Amino acid sequence: MKVGILIGSIRKQRVSDRLAKWVLNEVKNIDGSAGTIIDLVDFNLPLFDEEVSPQFNPKRNINPEARRLLDIVANQDALVVVTPEYNRSYSSALKNALDYLDFQIEKKPVLLVAHGSTGGAQAVAHLRGVFPGLLAITVPRAIMIPRRIGEIFNEDGFLNDPTKDEPYGLQTNLKTALSDLKWYSDALFGSRK
Protein backbone atom coordinates (compact mmCIF):
# COMPACT_ATOMS: atom_id res chain seq x y z
CA MET A 1 0.00 0.00 0.00
CA LYS A 2 1.34 3.40 -0.98
CA VAL A 3 0.05 5.92 1.56
CA GLY A 4 0.09 9.67 1.06
CA ILE A 5 0.09 11.53 4.38
CA LEU A 6 -1.32 14.98 3.78
CA ILE A 7 -0.58 17.69 6.34
CA GLY A 8 -3.59 19.97 6.75
CA SER A 9 -1.76 22.90 8.31
CA ILE A 10 0.66 25.34 6.70
CA ARG A 11 1.36 27.48 9.78
CA LYS A 12 5.01 28.08 10.59
CA GLN A 13 4.33 27.12 14.22
CA ARG A 14 2.18 24.11 13.36
CA VAL A 15 2.24 20.80 15.16
CA SER A 16 0.32 18.74 12.58
CA ASP A 17 3.64 17.85 10.95
CA ARG A 18 4.55 15.88 14.09
CA LEU A 19 1.45 13.76 13.68
CA ALA A 20 2.23 13.22 10.00
CA LYS A 21 5.66 11.88 10.99
CA TRP A 22 4.01 9.75 13.68
CA VAL A 23 1.80 8.17 11.01
CA LEU A 24 4.77 7.73 8.65
CA ASN A 25 6.76 5.97 11.39
CA GLU A 26 3.91 3.50 11.90
CA VAL A 27 3.32 2.94 8.16
CA LYS A 28 6.94 1.75 7.99
CA ASN A 29 5.91 -1.17 10.24
CA ILE A 30 3.28 -2.43 7.79
CA ASP A 31 4.62 -5.12 5.46
CA GLY A 32 4.68 -4.03 1.83
CA SER A 33 3.67 -0.44 2.62
CA ALA A 34 5.40 2.88 2.11
CA GLY A 35 4.41 6.36 3.21
CA THR A 36 4.96 9.72 1.55
CA ILE A 37 4.39 12.95 3.41
CA ILE A 38 2.54 15.46 1.27
CA ASP A 39 3.23 18.87 2.73
CA LEU A 40 1.19 21.76 1.33
CA VAL A 41 3.98 24.11 2.37
CA ASP A 42 6.00 22.61 -0.49
CA PHE A 43 3.45 23.72 -3.07
CA ASN A 44 2.76 27.26 -4.11
CA LEU A 45 -0.98 26.75 -4.52
CA PRO A 46 -3.04 29.83 -5.29
CA LEU A 47 -6.65 29.97 -4.14
CA PHE A 48 -8.60 27.72 -6.46
CA ASP A 49 -10.17 29.81 -9.23
CA GLU A 50 -10.63 27.49 -12.21
CA GLU A 51 -13.50 28.26 -14.56
CA VAL A 52 -15.13 24.80 -14.31
CA SER A 53 -15.39 22.17 -11.59
CA PRO A 54 -12.36 19.88 -12.16
CA GLN A 55 -14.32 16.64 -12.56
CA PHE A 56 -16.34 18.24 -15.34
CA ASN A 57 -13.43 19.83 -17.18
CA PRO A 58 -11.38 17.32 -19.18
CA LYS A 59 -9.46 20.19 -20.77
CA ARG A 60 -8.25 21.70 -17.53
CA ASN A 61 -5.70 24.47 -17.81
CA ILE A 62 -4.19 23.60 -14.48
CA ASN A 63 -1.69 25.53 -12.41
CA PRO A 64 1.67 23.67 -12.61
CA GLU A 65 2.04 23.54 -8.82
CA ALA A 66 -1.42 22.00 -8.53
CA ARG A 67 -0.52 19.52 -11.28
CA ARG A 68 2.55 18.50 -9.30
CA LEU A 69 0.43 17.95 -6.17
CA LEU A 70 -2.23 16.00 -8.08
CA ASP A 71 0.36 13.71 -9.68
CA ILE A 72 1.75 12.80 -6.25
CA VAL A 73 -1.75 12.15 -4.88
CA ALA A 74 -2.67 10.07 -7.93
CA ASN A 75 0.31 7.81 -7.26
CA GLN A 76 -1.04 6.74 -3.84
CA ASP A 77 -3.32 3.81 -3.00
CA ALA A 78 -4.64 5.49 0.14
CA LEU A 79 -4.50 8.81 1.98
CA VAL A 80 -4.09 9.79 5.60
CA VAL A 81 -5.25 13.35 6.18
CA VAL A 82 -3.81 14.96 9.28
CA THR A 83 -6.14 17.78 10.16
CA PRO A 84 -6.18 20.43 12.83
CA GLU A 85 -9.48 21.96 13.88
CA TYR A 86 -9.84 25.65 13.06
CA ASN A 87 -13.03 27.42 14.10
CA ARG A 88 -15.01 24.22 14.46
CA SER A 89 -13.89 22.79 11.13
CA TYR A 90 -10.75 21.91 9.17
CA SER A 91 -8.31 24.38 7.67
CA SER A 92 -8.85 26.53 4.60
CA ALA A 93 -5.45 25.42 3.23
CA LEU A 94 -6.67 21.83 3.24
CA LYS A 95 -9.97 22.72 1.55
CA ASN A 96 -8.15 24.72 -1.11
CA ALA A 97 -5.89 21.78 -1.91
CA LEU A 98 -8.78 19.29 -1.99
CA ASP A 99 -10.75 21.50 -4.37
CA TYR A 100 -8.01 21.05 -6.99
CA LEU A 101 -8.48 17.25 -7.12
CA ASP A 102 -10.54 15.65 -9.86
CA PHE A 103 -10.27 11.84 -9.97
CA GLN A 104 -6.95 11.27 -8.16
CA ILE A 105 -8.55 9.62 -5.09
CA GLU A 106 -11.56 7.99 -6.74
CA LYS A 107 -12.27 4.63 -5.05
CA LYS A 108 -9.43 5.15 -2.59
CA PRO A 109 -9.71 5.04 1.21
CA VAL A 110 -8.92 8.00 3.45
CA LEU A 111 -8.05 7.85 7.15
CA LEU A 112 -8.62 11.03 9.15
CA VAL A 113 -6.20 11.91 11.94
CA ALA A 114 -7.38 14.99 13.83
CA HIS A 115 -6.47 17.05 16.83
CA GLY A 116 -7.80 20.03 18.74
CA SER A 117 -9.32 20.68 22.13
CA THR A 118 -12.25 18.41 21.28
CA GLY A 119 -10.00 16.03 19.38
CA GLY A 120 -10.82 17.66 16.07
CA ALA A 121 -14.20 15.91 16.04
CA GLN A 122 -15.84 18.69 14.06
CA ALA A 123 -13.03 18.73 11.49
CA VAL A 124 -13.53 14.97 11.10
CA ALA A 125 -17.29 15.32 10.76
CA HIS A 126 -16.94 18.01 8.10
CA LEU A 127 -14.29 16.11 6.14
CA ARG A 128 -16.50 13.03 6.10
CA GLY A 129 -18.95 15.14 4.10
CA VAL A 130 -16.28 16.35 1.68
CA PHE A 131 -14.63 13.13 0.48
CA PRO A 132 -17.70 11.68 -1.28
CA GLY A 133 -17.46 14.73 -3.55
CA LEU A 134 -14.02 13.50 -4.54
CA LEU A 135 -15.34 9.93 -4.99
CA ALA A 136 -13.19 8.70 -2.10
CA ILE A 137 -14.19 6.75 0.99
CA THR A 138 -13.35 7.69 4.57
CA VAL A 139 -12.70 4.62 6.68
CA PRO A 140 -15.08 4.34 9.68
CA ARG A 141 -12.37 4.70 12.31
CA ALA A 142 -10.67 8.06 12.83
CA ILE A 143 -7.95 9.16 15.20
CA MET A 144 -8.99 12.14 17.33
CA ILE A 145 -6.52 13.51 19.83
CA PRO A 146 -7.83 16.00 22.43
CA ARG A 147 -4.41 16.82 23.79
CA ARG A 148 -1.60 19.31 23.13
CA ILE A 149 0.34 17.64 20.34
CA GLY A 150 3.49 19.69 20.95
CA GLU A 151 3.63 18.39 24.52
CA ILE A 152 3.25 14.69 23.78
CA PHE A 153 5.01 14.24 20.42
CA ASN A 154 8.55 15.27 19.59
CA GLU A 155 9.54 16.85 16.27
CA ASP A 156 10.35 13.44 14.81
CA GLY A 157 6.84 12.15 15.45
CA PHE A 158 7.57 9.93 18.42
CA LEU A 159 5.75 10.03 21.76
CA ASN A 160 7.90 11.94 24.24
CA ASP A 161 7.08 9.36 26.87
CA PRO A 162 5.58 6.15 25.46
CA THR A 163 4.84 4.94 29.01
CA LYS A 164 2.31 7.78 29.33
CA ASP A 165 0.46 6.66 26.21
CA GLU A 166 -1.88 4.58 28.39
CA PRO A 167 -4.80 4.82 29.00
CA TYR A 168 -5.06 6.83 25.79
CA GLY A 169 -3.70 4.02 23.65
CA LEU A 170 -2.75 6.32 20.78
CA GLN A 171 -0.21 3.94 19.30
CA THR A 172 -2.61 0.99 19.42
CA ASN A 173 -5.39 3.08 17.91
CA LEU A 174 -3.13 4.17 15.07
CA LYS A 175 -2.04 0.60 14.35
CA THR A 176 -5.67 -0.52 14.22
CA ALA A 177 -6.75 2.40 12.02
CA LEU A 178 -3.87 1.83 9.58
CA SER A 179 -4.70 -1.86 9.48
CA ASP A 180 -8.27 -0.90 8.51
CA LEU A 181 -6.91 1.51 5.89
CA LYS A 182 -4.88 -1.33 4.39
CA TRP A 183 -7.94 -3.60 4.36
CA TYR A 184 -9.92 -0.99 2.41
CA SER A 185 -6.97 -0.24 0.16
CA ASP A 186 -6.56 -3.92 -0.75
CA ALA A 187 -10.31 -4.36 -1.22
CA LEU A 188 -10.59 -1.35 -3.52
CA PHE A 189 -7.38 -1.89 -5.47
CA GLY A 190 -8.90 -4.16 -8.10
CA SER A 191 -11.86 -1.84 -8.65
CA ARG A 192 -9.65 0.90 -10.02
CA LYS A 193 -8.70 1.15 -13.67
Ligand X SMILES: Cc1cc2nc3c(=O)[nH]c(=O)nc-3n(C[C@H](O)[C@H](O)[C@H](O)COP(=O)(O)O)c2cc1C
Applying CB under 6 A, which residues contact ligand X?
9, 11, 14-16, 84-88, 116-118, 149
Q: What DSSP letter does each residue of 64-133 carry, written as one string?
A: HHHHHHHHHHHT-SEEEEEEE-BTTB--HHHHHHHHH-SSTTTT-EEEEEEESTTTTHHHHHHHHHHGGG
Whole-number minimum distance, CB 186 to ligand X, in Å? 30
CB closer to ligand X out of 4 and 54: 4
CB closer to ligand X out of 86 and 153: 86
Whole-number minimum distance, CB 22 to ligand X, in Å? 13
CA distance 176 to 103: 28
> 124-150: buried (b, 16+ CB within 10 Å) or exposed (e) per residue?
beebeebbeebebbbbebbbbbeeebe
Whole-number minimum distance, CB 8 to ligand X, in Å? 7
Whole-number minimum distance, CB 149 to ligand X, in Å? 6
CB closer to ligand X out of 4 and 116: 116
Which run of H or E residues covers position 172? helix 170-189
CB closer to ligand X out of 117 and 172: 117
Q: Which residue is nearest to ligand X (CB)?
A: 116
